[in-house]
């Protein structure tokens, strides 16, 4: 499994996930982001073989559709659901159970598309304000509730999600490895280089770690912590 987070922002959305694939006592680091046609991205938690097959077929589906005309939101969702259904028919229940997918992209009419496919489902739904998938979902949800603030921008969301994924990896044995981040706004979709993500984590981690560890103690002691924490 993994930990996977998608977050709606005031100017687009940010998606982040770890890179650890765990099978029993064996694990490896494996990319879990597929960028398609340079404007769609698939991120998945669960059976990596199923998610890779889905991403490959979706890439072909989008490529074929682009040759025939524009891909608007409706056409994109139709292609996605057709591929999900075809995989389920070929592989049976095992292909559907346990896999969770987030899909984002920019349609030909410049609409940002944010979709989620829950475990056991073959149809898209709109992504909520944020989505957490994978074995690290409980820890990720708890941290997101603490750190999320309305009207967060993509620039602010990148360090937020990078830190949350890193923090979950520290407590969840099924999560770990390099962190992948995809940013989408009204103009483009891009996957950030691992080096940039690592630099972001190193910049915010000391401050956020300190807040998480020191602020609760200060509050419980009845002290005003802000001045002391920011010295």
Mean pLDDT is lowest, of 37-46, 95-104, 138-147, 222-231, for 222-231
CATH for 174:
3.60.20.10
Asked if 110 contacts 147 with a C-beta cutoff of 8 angstroms, the reply is: no
Give the range of the structural domain holding residue 94, as residue numbers without chain letter: 3-229
The residue-averaged pLDDT of 83-95 equals 87
Tokens of 38: 């340079």
More confident residue, 99 or 128: 128
Asked whether residue 118 carries a pLDDT value surpassing 80, the answer given is: yes
41-62 pLDDT, tens per residue?
A: 999 998 888 899 999 999 999 9
Question: What's the DSSP call for residue 83?
Answer: H
Asked whether residue 185 carries a pLDDT value surpassing 60, the answer given is: yes
> What's the domain count of the chain?
1
57-87 pLDDT, tens per residue?
A: 999 999 999 999 999 999 999 999 999 999 9
Helices (H), the chain: 48-68, 73-91, 93-96, 137-147, 154-171, 194-220, 226-229
């Amino acid at each position: 499994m993994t930990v996977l987070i998608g977050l709606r922002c005031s100017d687009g959305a940010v998606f982040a996930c770890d890179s650890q694939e765990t099978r029993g006592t064996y694990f490896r680091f494996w990319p879990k982001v597929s960028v398609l046609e340079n404007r769609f991205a698939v991120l998945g938690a669960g059976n990596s073989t199923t998610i890779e097959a889905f991403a490959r077929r979706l890439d072909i589906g989008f490529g074929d559709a682009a040759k025939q005309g524009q891909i608007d939101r409706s056409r994109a969702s139709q292609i996605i659901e057709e591929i999900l259904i075809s995989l389920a028919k070929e592989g049976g229940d095992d292909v559907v159970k346990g896999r969770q997918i987030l899909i984002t992209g920019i349609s030909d009419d410049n609409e940002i598309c944010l979709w989620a496919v829950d475990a056991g489902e073959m149809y898209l739904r709109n992504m909520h304000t944020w989505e957490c998938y994978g074995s690290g979902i409980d820890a990720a949800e708890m941290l997101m509730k603490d750190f999320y603030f309305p009207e967060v921008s993509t620039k602010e969301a990148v360090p937020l999600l990078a830190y949350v994924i890193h923090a979950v990896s520290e407590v969840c044995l099924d999560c770990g490895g390099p962190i992948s981040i995809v940013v989408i706004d009204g103009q483009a979709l891009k996957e950030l280089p691992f080096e940039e993500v690592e630099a972001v984590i190193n910049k915010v981690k000391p401050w956020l770690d300190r807040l998480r560890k020191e602020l609760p103690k200060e509050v419980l002691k009845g002290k005003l912590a802000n001045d002391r924490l920011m010295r």
